Structure 1
Amino acid sequence: MAHGSDELVTAARAGDQAAWRGLYLLHTTRITALLRALPLADHSSSPEDLVAEAWLTASSKMHDFRGSDDDFGGWLFTIARNHASNSHRTAVRRRTDPTDVPLDPARSTGEDPLAQVDGQDTVRRLLDQLSPRQAEVVACIDVGGLDVRTTARALGMSPTAVRVARHRALGRLRTLLDDA
């Protein structure tokens, strides 16, 4: 069943399984790539786990959501980010130090956005050099493809603060790359 871009949320709220599938296909890869680009604090929760938790939360709170299909992506990212923050707090309390897991070379090649982010360990190291807020802004806009307005809403910032944080982050990244 095909839906227009503003009809998926309405149809999903009404229980249409095809609409849920459409929302899932539209947003899951991007949200997972966003979480993969952010520094991981809790290595026991993978980005895929956090996205699955976000979908469960979104499905149970769908009646509270008001907005378009585009707004849904920002709302879902906010939920996923909240799960990541909770996971981070748990990891800090546990204070475990995982060993590095080598990347699967099969996943680092191909057109899959998740594999591209996995294969770019340099991106993670560079984002680690930024403040957490700047790293989130760059991940949302430049990795996840969210617009400034959606990023601002997802991160609880004003659009101007998002633009400033991105500007400063990109300047810092240019400096780091020039030094390298």
Structure 2
Amino acid sequence: MHTDDDQIARAKTGDPDAWRELYRAHAGRLVVWLGTRPAGDSAVAPEDLAAEAWLVAAQRVADFAGSSEQFAGWLFGIARNLSSTTHRRSARRRTDPGLPETVELPAADEIGEADGRDWVRRALARLPPRERDVVACIDGVGLDVAATAAALGMSAVAVRVAHHRGLRRLRAASVSEEGQSVAAASSRSR
């Protein structure tokens, strides 16, 4: 059984300073992570889902038992559930035109800083959902294995395996793209 640390105990009593500290620690990472997940509905921004996750967390904080570090996994789990619900609702209502099945990834030298984020999203979108979510949690927003496992409802071993497989797939895709870029460049110079 987990016991609450001081910050969580204060948050449960409604202490605004405790909530501010939790927000500062997790809000930015939560929005970034939600931006890597398939939204399903282009009208629902990652910021909207994050705000809804914070509201749900505030309503259910009395049910949470743990430290402020474990709070991240719990909060990300709430956000994952909200994101999945939004995605399912969108699929039922067909409110989003969707993305094409194949996504062309540009060569690394063709990517500007703003386009780099889009490239990362497209690269992650090519991974199976489980691997995409794990790589986004660990490498995208810096959660540890335990928080990632809590956020995604997986065991720590499954998180490690999915992380390894996801990185291996990304490396293979990157090497494949580099080879195609070199071949295209040499054919243009002839």
Deviations 1:2-26 (A, max 9, x none): xxxx422111111211111111111
1:59–1:174 distance in 2 versus 1, CA, 3 Å: same
Q: How does 1:32-47 map to 2 (within 5 A)?
A: 32-47=31-46
Alignment correspondent of 2:123? 126
Between the aligned partners of 2:75 and 2:115, the Cα distance in structure 1 is 21
CA contact (8 A) 2:35 2:46 kept: yes
CA contact (8 A) 2:41 2:96 kept: no
Between the aligned partners of 1:141 and 1:167, the Cα distance in structure 2 is 11
Alignment correspondent of 1:176? 173
Alignment correspondent of 1:109? none
Secondary structure at the residue paired with 2:39? coil
TM, length-normalised to structure 2: 0.79
TM, length-normalised to structure 1: 0.83
Secondary structure at the residue paired with 2:154? coil
- 1:158 aligned partner, one-letter code: S
CA contact (8 A) 1:37 1:117 kept: no
Q: Count how many residue pairs are aligned between Structure 1 and Structure 2.
A: 160
- 1:27 aligned partner, one-letter code: H
Unpaired runs of 5+ residues, structure 1, are 1-5, 101-115
Unpaired runs of 5+ residues, structure 2, are 100-112, 178-190
Match of 2:159 among 156, 159, 162: 162
Alignment correspondent of 2:148? 151
Between the aligned partners of 1:174 and 1:117, the Cα distance in structure 2 is 21
1:117–1:147 distance in 2 versus 1, CA, 3 Å: farther
- 2:152 aligned partner, one-letter code: L
Give structure 1 regions of 4+ aligned residues with deviation exceeding 6 angstroms: none
Greater per-residue helix proportion: 2
Q: CA RMSD in A?
A: 1.8
Deviation at 1:96, TM superposition (A): 2.9
Between the aligned partners of 2:123 and 2:60, the Cα distance in structure 1 is 35
Question: What percent of counterpart residues are identical?
Answer: 52
Deviation at 1:99, TM superposition (A): 8.8
Q: Does 1:31 align with 2:30?
A: yes
Q: Which moved more, 1:128-137 or 1:37-46?
A: 37-46
CA contact (8 A) 2:38 2:87 kept: no
The structure that has the greater radius of gyration is 2
